[in-house]
């Protein structure tokens, strides 16, 4: 590693972004966001306001004597006597009420053992703002340069890849570190914050975020992709590692500080006293930075290629699994409320909404897959014009399917815990107990995905099997019948997905009627 070359690359990167008529915008945004955070005075916390207490029934004198107690028909505390014992019906009892009820000699004492919570201070914002503002620069420095064809010049120059990555990191990580340190110095000069060991990890947050960002976008070939990736992942990583570090820090500050990135972020907020925790935070984030830089340099190429979309069994299986997740998640998840202790929500949540989400998800999945083909409409089976004879055949098939009891869900011997699953999947696949919106979404989503995309890509057999696995896993015979008929209509008619749509629409309408 030759420092002169690293610095030269860093200067080049900064010059590319910060020169010209628009070069001042990024520094201005940094200043604009950091200045108010630095200057603003933190308002003093207000004294807690007294809260009234609504009571009813045989309210003891000691409780009546408390401040802000009022009789009310919608009580928070409902007092009654049962065999001489005072029963307090409540959702929660305040400690002052409990003390009043207990008197001098309580039979049971209820005590609290709360570990004091120390939240990060405003100095955390200096690190956070500096790091987040550089999201665009990170993407443009790596993906943007690749797309613009300027990265190849760097890679072909007499510098190692590690020097290229280190130079870029020095430019943007350095800018972020400088901004956060300047903000901290200004705040200290104005007496808004006091100096402390938090200054130690403060300058490493932005460089660590930049290093992680480089690693995330190392294969991105254009700036839209790169920025979208850094935009979705970096805030999540900062939040998750920050929260993780804070929670772990409540057990032991050193444990929290050892979380890369999050530890430095929380330590920069002055959350932990002493030198050791900020020092560990600094080291863990620097280690993350170095690891990311090394991995980025290892993978850095001028034109990385994405693997071509597979036509294999594995690709079909992954697609089917994804479709199952998209379909089952909104339809079956409400059951979990009941399992977690709230059956009311499971009963209340509208089933049709799950089918709308599932249908929309399948349609978007089909669209995403079809986008990789030369013609989206053809891949979805919508390109060919409908053939009236086959449409009529589809309607006839729909009538037959509606008359045949294809859904044998209720007859299946299942345990009670599976009954809800069976019932919900059955309702969703059969179009029963659903609204018009749910049926329409299911109709479009299923036909575009199974009879459109899967059949176009992997053939009719795969379409039938995928339909059975995703839509009717607990009633495979019904799935084979419905899926087989619909797939046969599309395969035989050679006029796109229209006959299957007609069959499904007819069948759904008859079921709803």
> Hey, which residues between 107 and 126 contact another protein (CB under 8 A)?
107-115
With CA atoms as reference, report the closest residue to 296 among 368, 191, 213. Answer: 213
Asked if residue 342 binds another protein (CB under 8 A), the reply is: yes
Asked if residue 445 binds another protein (CB under 8 A), the reply is: no
Asked if residue 446 binds another protein (CB under 8 A), the reply is: no
Q: How far is CA 439 from the centre of its chain?
A: 28
With CA atoms as reference, report the closest residue to 504 among 491, 493, 490. Answer: 490
CB of 207 vs another protein, minimal distance in Å: 16
| Residues contacting residue 406 through CB under 8 Å, at least 6 positions apart | 430, 478, 481, 482
Asked if residue 245 binds another protein (CB under 8 A), the reply is: no
Q: Of 192 and 219, which CB lies nearer to another protein in the complex structure?
A: 219
Longest dimension (CA), the chain: 92
Chain residues 210-239 in contact with another protein, contact rule CB under 8 A: 220-229, 231-232, 236
CB of 387 vs another protein, minimal distance in Å: 21
Asked if residue 51 binds another protein (CB under 8 A), the reply is: no
54 beta partners:
70
Site string for another protein, 280-319 (x = CB under 8 A): -------------------------xx-------------
Site for another protein (CB under 8 A): which residue of 148, 157, 313, 461? 148
Chain residues 378-437 in contact with another protein, contact rule CB under 8 A: none
Report phi then psi at 69, rounded to 5. -90, 130
Site for another protein (CB under 8 A): which residue of 8, 147, 185, 295? 147
| Residues contacting residue 173 through CB under 8 Å, at least 6 positions apart | 206, 207, 208, 210, 211, 289
The three-state secondary structure class of 83 is coil
Contact 284, 204 (CB under 8 A): no
Asked if residue 447 binds another protein (CB under 8 A), the reply is: no
Q: Of 350 and 436, which CB lies nearer to another protein in the complex structure?
A: 350
Q: Of 279 and 433, which CB lies nearer to another protein in the complex structure?
A: 433
The three-state secondary structure class of 390 is helix
Asked if residue 324 binds another protein (CB under 8 A), the reply is: no
Asked if residue 361 binds another protein (CB under 8 A), the reply is: yes
Cβ neighbours around 436 below 10 Å, total: 11
CB of 123 vs another protein, minimal distance in Å: 21
CB of 388 vs another protein, minimal distance in Å: 25
CB of 261 vs another protein, minimal distance in Å: 18
Q: Of 197 and 272, which CB lies nearer to another protein in the complex structure?
A: 272
With CA atoms as reference, report the closest residue to 390 among 482, 486, 456. Answer: 486
Chain residues 127-146 in contact with another protein, contact rule CB under 8 A: 133-137, 139-140, 144-145
Q: Of 144 and 499, which CB lies nearer to another protein in the complex structure?
A: 144
DSSP state of 385: P
**In 113-146, which positions are buried (b, 16+ CB within 10 angstroms) versus exposed (e)?**
eeeeeeebbbbbbbbbbbbbbbbbbbbbbbbbbb
CA atoms of 89 and 354, how far apart (whole Å):
37
CB of 325 vs another protein, minimal distance in Å: 9
């Amino acid at each position: 590693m030759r420092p002169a070359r690293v610095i030269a690359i860093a200067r080049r990167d900064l010059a590319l972004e910060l020169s010209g008529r628009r070069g001042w915008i990024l520094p201005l945004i940094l200043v604009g966001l950091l200045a108010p955070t630095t200057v603003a005075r933190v308002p003093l916390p207000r004294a807690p306001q007294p809260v009234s207490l609504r009571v009813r029934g045989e309210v003891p004198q000691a409780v009546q004597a408390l401040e802000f107690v009022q009789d009310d028909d919608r009580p928070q505390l409902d007092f009654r006597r049962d065999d001489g014992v005072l029963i307090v019906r409540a959702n929660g009892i305040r400690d002052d009420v409990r003390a009043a009820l207990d008197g001098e000699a309580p039979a049971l004492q209820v005590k609290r053992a709360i570990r004091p919570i120390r939240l990060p201070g405003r100095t955390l914002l200096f690190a956070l703002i500096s790091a987040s503002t550089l999201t665009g620069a990170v993407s443009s420095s790596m993906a943007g340069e690749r797309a613009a064809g300027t990265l190849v010049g760097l890679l072909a120059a007499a510098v190692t890849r590690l020097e290229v990555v280190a130079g870029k990191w020095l430019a943007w990580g350095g800018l972020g570190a400088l901004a956060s340190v300047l903000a901290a110095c200004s705040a200290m000069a104005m007496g808004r914050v006091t100096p402390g060991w938090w200054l130690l990890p403060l300058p490493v947050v932005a460089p660590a975020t930049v290093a992680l960002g480089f690693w995330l976008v190392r294969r991105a070939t254009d700036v839209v992709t790169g920025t979208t990736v850094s935009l979705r992942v970096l805030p999540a990583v900062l939040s998750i590692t920050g929260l993780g570090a804070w929670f772990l820090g409540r057990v032991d500050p050193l444990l929290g500080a050892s979380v890369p990135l999050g530890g430095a972020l929380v330590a920069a907020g002055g959350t932990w006293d002493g030198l050791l925790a900020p020092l560990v935070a600094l080291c863990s984030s620097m280690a993350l930075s170095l690891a990311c830089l090394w991995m980025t340099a290892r993978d850095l190429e001028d034109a990385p290629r994405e693997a071509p979309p597979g036509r294999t069994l594995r690709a079909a299986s992954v697609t089917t699994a994804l479709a199952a997740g998209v379909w089952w998640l909104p339809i079956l998840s409400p059951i979990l409320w009941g399992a977690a202790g709230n059956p009311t929500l499971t009963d209340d949540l509208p089933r049709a909404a799950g089918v709308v989400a599932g249908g929309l998800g399948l349609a978007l999945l089909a669209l995403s897959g079809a986008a990789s083909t030369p013609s989206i409409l053809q891949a979805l089976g919508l390109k060919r014009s409908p053939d009236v004879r086959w449409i009529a055949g589809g309607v006839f098939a729909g009538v037959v399917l509606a008359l045949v009891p294809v859904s044998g869900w209720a007859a299946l011997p299942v345990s009670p815990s599976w009954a809800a699953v069976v019932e919900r999947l059955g309702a969703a696949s059969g179009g029963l107990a659903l609204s018009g919106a749910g049926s329409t979404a299911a109709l479009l989503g299923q036909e575009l995905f199974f009879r459109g995309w899967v059949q176009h890509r992997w053939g009719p057999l795969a379409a039938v099997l995928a339909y059975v696995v995703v839509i009717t896993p607990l009633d495979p015979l019904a799935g084979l019948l419905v899926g087989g008929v619909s797939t046969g209509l599309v395969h035989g008619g050679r006029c796109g997905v229209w006959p299957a749509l007609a069959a499904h629409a007819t069948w759904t309408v008859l079921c709803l009627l």
